Amino acid sequence: MKFFDIKEAIVFENDNYLLINKPPQIATLDERTPDAKGLSILRMVKKLYEDAQVAHRLDKETSGVLAIAKNPDAYRHLAIQFEKRQVEKLYHAVAVGIHDFQGVMVDLPITPIPTGGVKIDRTNGKDATTIFTTKEVFKQNTLVECMPLTGRMHQIRIHLSCLSAPIISDAQYGGKFLYLSEIKRDFRLKKDTDEQPLIQRVALHAYSLAFKDLDDTVILGTADYPKDMTALLKQLRNYK
């Protein structure tokens, strides 16, 4: 991806915490894969604050608000809130299909699988709960607000899949790429060109995060959509 200046991504900062709007395609922590290039949010933020620790994770493809503790006390304080499920998280996802979710709760346990990702496992899985609410309906897609009450890996993605509403471009959980030709009448592709999807990655964005500072004041961080998700929503609104 193009050069990313973490200072320009800050949406909130005080003596204890730094909240940034993480772009897609940058890992939260250092990756251990052979093709990893060493670019991670943790590595970048430690250049600013030596004691900084990432308080939670976002998938590499997921954009949005990410909390970073600037000192050990702040890290412990926020870690306890995550453990006690006192952190309020809101995500926005663009799902395949038209759906009317009005506070729909999915309470299905999740377990990791050896090939990566997760599956629903009612016997041995860890509890996972997400609440879904429709925000906007398009021609054949839906913008969904997702409130995870637990913090399991790929929780939102697999729970939406269980509602027959997989996220656009999320092939791992039944999603598919969306093309302009599917929603625009009289679409014509330029000669000798291949049509590209409207978004190349899982259409999931961490929109807001709220928790308490060490003095119990509430910290709320919100993150604007990145360019790719903004462009996707623009096209969906153009051709409702």
Give 190's pLDDT tier (boundaries 50, 70, 90).
confident
DSSP notation for 113-125: -TTSSEEE-TTTP
Residue 232 lies in a domain: yes
Count: domains in the chain: 1
Average pLDDT in the chain: 94
* Rounded average pLDDT over 78-84: 96
Q: Tens digit of pLDDT for each residue in 165-186?
A: 999 999 999 999 999 999 998 8
- Residues designated catalytic: 59
pTM of the prediction?
0.94
Give 33's pLDDT tier (boundaries 50, 70, 90).
low
Does residue 152 have a pLDDT over 70?
A: yes
Q: Tens digit of pLDDT for each residue in 223-233?
A: 999 999 999 99
- Residues whose CB is less than 8 angstroms from the CB of residue 84 and which lie 6 or more positions away in sequence, other chains included: none
Give 35's pLDDT tier (boundaries 50, 70, 90).
very low
| Rg of the chain taking only CA atoms, in angstroms | 19
Does residue 34 have a pLDDT over 50?
A: no
Residue 13 lies in a domain: yes
Give 3's pLDDT tier (boundaries 50, 70, 90).
low
Residue 166 lies in a domain: yes
Q: Tens digit of pLDDT for each residue in 101-143?
A: 999 999 999 999 998 899 999 999 999 999 999 999 999 999 9
- Cα 34-40-45 angle, rounded to 5 deg: 150
Instruction: Give the CATH number of the domain where residue 138 resides.
Output: 3.30.2350.10
Residue 139 lies in a domain: yes
pLDDT above 90: percentage of residues in the chain = 86
Give the C-alpha separation, 24 to 42, whole Å: 15
Tell me which residue range forms the domain holding 163.
6-238
- Residues whose CB is less than 8 angstroms from the CB of residue 180 and which lie 6 or more positions away in sequence, other chains included: 187, 195, 198, 235, 239
Residue 1 lies in a domain: no
